[in-house]
Structure 1
């Protein structure tokens, strides 16, 4: 995923990797567009993710969760979804 996002490669969007925000460390975040991308891996727990997502949404962030298999095999679909999300206003807190 980082290969797709680093150095403003995706439409000039500035993403940070492993960025701290509040009590959390986000896989990837674009602060300008208030967009968070979480790569699915072995360390995600649905209950904790729900609490984290609620906290982020209350702060006005979009969250896009991407399974690792999609990142490896369907990266074009993830890119399309990211561009769709950043073109949409963030949820109101």
Structure 2
């Protein structure tokens, strides 16, 4: 299956906690934080990612119970690309969504954007030292 087709199929079969978190993450767009879901990157499919802040959000359910080492290798590989991975278990998303979103907002605000959230690039020559 092609990468994009697989990502699209995964978007249609999100778990209930993933779907619940997705609704909350979409609301963060009004604050300038844009998330993608089931985004393919370097051979991995990320549950959610804010590219501008290099922040990955994973919702870990029963499928992750015996994948600790695999998850650590994956997180390390993506950290090498400058990404930070935050993991929340299904119960946290289900029972404490406000706490999860609060924690995410703290991390999003603390992260340095990799590009402006809005607007055009600076005018040519801006920031260059006078010679």
TM-score (norm 2): 0.63
Matched positions, count: 88
TM-score, length of structure 1 as denominator length:
0.88
The Cα shift of 1:85 comes to 1.1
1:1-40 alpha-carbon deviations (Å, 9 max, x no partner): 111012xx11231100100011100000000010000001
Of the three residues 61, 85, 92, the one matched with 1:63 is 85
In the alignment, structure 1 segments of 5+ residues that lack a partner are none
Structure 1 stretches of at least 4 aligned residues deviating more than 4 Å after TM superposition: none
Any gaps of 5 or more consecutive residues in structure 2? 1-20, 113-131
Larger helix percent: 2
Give the structure with the larger strand fraction.
1
Corresponding residue number in structure 2 for 1:82: 104
**For the pair shown, which has the larger CA radius of gyration, 1 or 2?**
2
